[in-house]
Amino acid sequence: MQPFALVIEDNKDHALIFAEALRAADYETEMVYDGETALARLAATAPALVVLDLRIPRVPGREILRYIRAENRLAETRVILATGDHITAERLHNEAEVVLIKPIDFIQLRDLAVRMRPPESAD
């Protein structure tokens, strides 16, 4: 079974590139384009991986990151922050597994996602 990844990015071109990189790393992916929808999806699912843009409409990425870190059922969710803001990236680097500065390379994201895949469950 493929792990689930949620791409939270308001730029639809970036979201598509991120989602394709995650699919290439063998994740089932879903894209959302605003913070309000992201919080609703996070309330209903527990993604293995989230790629999170910090500057998105309705609810900022920083609040979404806080939500993920505060929810016990999301304790295993790994977060890749995607930002063009070097200062914010420096401030938040301890709150995410990885912080990537835009533009983000497809191969770099794919390779990171492969390394972040959860271990296969033994049946």
pTM score, two decimals? 0.93
**Contact residues for 42 (Cβ-Cβ < 8 A; gap 6+):** 6, 50, 64, 67, 68, 71, 74
What is the 8-class DSSP label of residue 59? S
If one compares 50 and 1, the residue with the highest pLDDT of the two is: 50
48-89 tens-digit pLDDT: 999 999 999 999 999 999 999 999 999 999 999 999 888 888
**Contact residues for 87 (Cβ-Cβ < 8 A; gap 6+):** none
23-54 tens-digit pLDDT: 999 999 999 999 999 999 999 999 999 999 99
98-123 tens-digit pLDDT: 999 999 999 999 999 999 999 874 33
